[in-house]
């Protein structure tokens, strides 16, 4: 709950009152008595003023969007209320957010029995899971005797997802069979593609029975069971293995191998999921992070949620990470490794995966272009000798934005009459309450 406090700025006025009172007692004088009365009156007025502000002042905030991606706008609407009959001559609003590129602090004044509304905005420059708040409002009486603070310790989480870009075709996942057409062979295992039905044969699993066809084709006295036949999977699952070893990543801010690697992982996942493939993620963020392969739009958001908080803090190499992932990998899947590492030791783990029937690809970040160690070209040659498809991405790589997203801010149009109207109104329905800070009502 928010709390408000009133405290004395300086003890000097109190000391003056006590000193003048003692002088008046032992050596009465009309000038001293006048100064004492005026000073006491000022202190009383200042205290009543401060207490009135502490009881009547409140502030609310609403965030327009619940999440954003890198490059999007964060926007908040603020409303400060003053329910007391005492005006707010000055007030400093301080918002202690840890989000880079966003500062909602402000200084305002407010009349009695009135409200003031404003909007703060900023650009989401970096991905991450940020905290909005806490909030502190500072004001006081006009004489500067008392200090009023309204503090709200409530914090709210705001997620900035990594940007998703359109990439050239870097990876071609492989499965049991290529293409999207039906294969002449049938799978002995249950897959996601049911091809046809046939009569039940001894030994067929009960889970393969197609009960609707059985009920439709059966007649009294001639009951028979029908089972489903399955196509081979046209493409297998894809795993993205993201190297977050702190010893191999270089650069700072957006121009770092860490941010490039995360953007590549998000964009590759989006590319393959849009092609109706199951995609999973394996990385290390102070602990193993494993998202099993799934299809669909929800899988993308789950992966973006994880990637928003992944940083190069791991103390294990890409070789160790691949070795940890081997038990989760099966035959005929695709593994895409994203790494700036130029240590050839992890090539042995790739060879082990290939020996188990796993198709492998690699996206190499050229650390030298970010100010790090050279060797990406040599790694590319070694991967080619191993039969692994690889691509090199340097600091000049252009991440082309995906299809134009819906505008975050409303568009305004000026009519011939001079009236300003909103072209795409999306007002209060999109403003998300973040917290309410109210003054002491006692």
Q: Span 432-437, mean pLDDT?
A: 56
CB atoms within 10 A of CB 64: 21
Sheet holding 146-152, edge to edge: 3-8, 146-152, 135-140, 88-95, 106-110
Please compute Rg for the chain using Cα positions: 33
Give mean pLDDT, residues 297-302.
92
Q: What is the pLDDT of residue 204?
A: 79
Ramachandran bin of 195, using left for φ above 0, alpha for ψ from -120 to 50, beta for the remaining angles: alpha
- Of 227 and 116, the structure prediction assigns the larger pLDDT to 116
Mean pLDDT, the chain, integer: 84
Residues 6+ apart with CB under 8 A from 412: 420, 421, 422, 423
Edge to edge, what strands does the sheet with 194-199 contain? 186-187, 226-231, 194-199
Lowest-confidence region among 203-207, 285-289, 405-409: 405-409
Domains and CATH numbers, the chain: 1-162 (2.60.40.10), 165-175+236-401 (3.40.50.410), 187-231 (no CATH)
pLDDT digits (tens, 9 = 90+) for 321-378: 999 988 888 877 899 999 999 999 999 999 999 888 889 999 999 999 999 989 999 9
For 115-138, what is the mean pLDDT? 93
Task: Check residue 403 and give its pLDDT.
Answer: 56
Where b means 16+ CB within 10 Å and e means fewer, 162-184 reads bbbbebeebbebbbbbeeeeebe
Task: Answer yes or no: are the C-beta atoms of 351 and 327 closer than 8 Å.
Answer: no
**What kind and span of H or E run contains 400?**
strand 400-401
User: Which residues on neighbouring strands pair with residue 74, listed in sequence order?
Assistant: 122
Structure tokens belonging to residue 115? 């409200």
Task: Give pLDDT, residue 304.
Answer: 95
Give the model's confidence band at 409: pLDDT under 50 very low, under 70 low, under 90 confident, else very high: low
Region 6-22 average pLDDT: 91
Distance of alpha carbon 437 from alpha carbon 1, whole angstroms = 8
The first and second tokens of residue 125, run together, are: 């420059």
Higher pLDDT, 230 or 95: 95
Query: Element (H or E) spanning 240, and its range?
Result: strand 238-242
pLDDT tens readout for residues 167-214: 888 876 654 444 334 444 444 455 545 667 888 888 777 778 888 888
pLDDT of residue 52 exceeding 90: yes
Task: Please report the pLDDT score of residue 357 as a whole number.
Answer: 84
User: What are the CA-CA distances from residue 201 to residues 189, 198, 209, 234, 284 (Å)?
Assistant: 15, 9, 11, 26, 47
Largest CA distance in the chain: 124
What's the CA gap between 277 and 296, in Å, rounded?
8
CB atoms within 10 A of CB 147: 16
Indicate whether 406 pLDDT > 90.
no
**pTM of the entire predicted model:** 0.75
The pLDDT tens digits for 215-265 are 887 777 666 888 887 655 545 689 999 999 999 999 998 999 999 999 999
């Amino acid at each position: 709950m928010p709390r408000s406090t009133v405290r004395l700025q300086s003890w000097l006025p109190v000391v003056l009152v006590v000193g003048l009172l003692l002088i008046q007692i032992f050596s009465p004088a009309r000038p001293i008595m006048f100064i004492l009365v005026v000073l006491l009156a000022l202190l009383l007025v200042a205290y009543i003023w401060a207490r009135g502000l502490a009881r009547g002042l409140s502030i609310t905030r609403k965030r327009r969007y619940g999440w954003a991606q890198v490059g999007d706008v964060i926007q908040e609407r603020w409303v400060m209320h003053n329910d007391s009959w005492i005006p707010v001559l000055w007030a400093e609003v301080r918002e202690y957010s840890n989000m880079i590129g966003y500062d909602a602090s402000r200084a305002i004044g407010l009349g009695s029995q009135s409200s003031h509304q404003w909007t703060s905005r900023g650009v989401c420059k970096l991905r991450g899971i940020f905290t909005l708040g806490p909030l502190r409002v500072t004001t006081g009486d006009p004489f500067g005797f008392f200090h009023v603070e309204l503090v709200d310790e409530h914090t709210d989480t705001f997620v900035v997802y990594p940007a998703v870009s359109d990439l050239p075709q870097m990876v071609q996942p492989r499965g049991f069979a290529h293409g999207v057409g039906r294969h002449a062979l049938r799978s002995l295992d249950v897959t996601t593609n049911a091809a046809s039905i046939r009569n039940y044969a001894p030994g067929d699993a009960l889970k393969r029975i197609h009960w609707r066809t059985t009920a439709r084709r059966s007649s009294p006295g001639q009951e028979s069971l029908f089972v489903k036949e399955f196509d081979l999977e046209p493409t297998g699952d894809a795993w993205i293995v993201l190297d977050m070893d702190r010893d191999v990543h270089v650069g700072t801010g957006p121009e770092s191998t860490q941010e490039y690697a995360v953007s590549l992982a998000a964009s590759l996942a989006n590319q393959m999921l849009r092609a109706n493939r199951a995609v999973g993620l394996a990385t290390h963020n102070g602990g193993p992070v494993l998202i099993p392969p799934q299809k669909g739009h929800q899988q993308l958001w789950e992966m973006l949620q994880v990637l928003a908080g992944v940083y190069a803090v791991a103390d294990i190499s890409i070789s160790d990470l691949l070795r940890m992932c081997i038990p989760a990998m099966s035959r005929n899947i695709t593994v895409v490794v994203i790494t700036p590492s130029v240590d050839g030791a992890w090539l042995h783990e790739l060879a082990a995966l290939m020996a188990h029937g796993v198709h492998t690809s690699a996206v190499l970040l050229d650390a030298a272009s970010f100010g790090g160690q050279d060797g990406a070209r040599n790694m590319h040659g070694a991967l080619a000798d191993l039969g692994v498809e690889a691509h090199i991405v340097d600091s000049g790589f252009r991440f082309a934005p995906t299809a134009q997203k819906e505008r975050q801010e409303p568009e305004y149009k000026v009519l011939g009459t001079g009236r300003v109207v909103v072209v795409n109104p999306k007002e209060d329905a999109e403003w998300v309450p973040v917290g309410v800070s109210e003054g002491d009502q006692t």
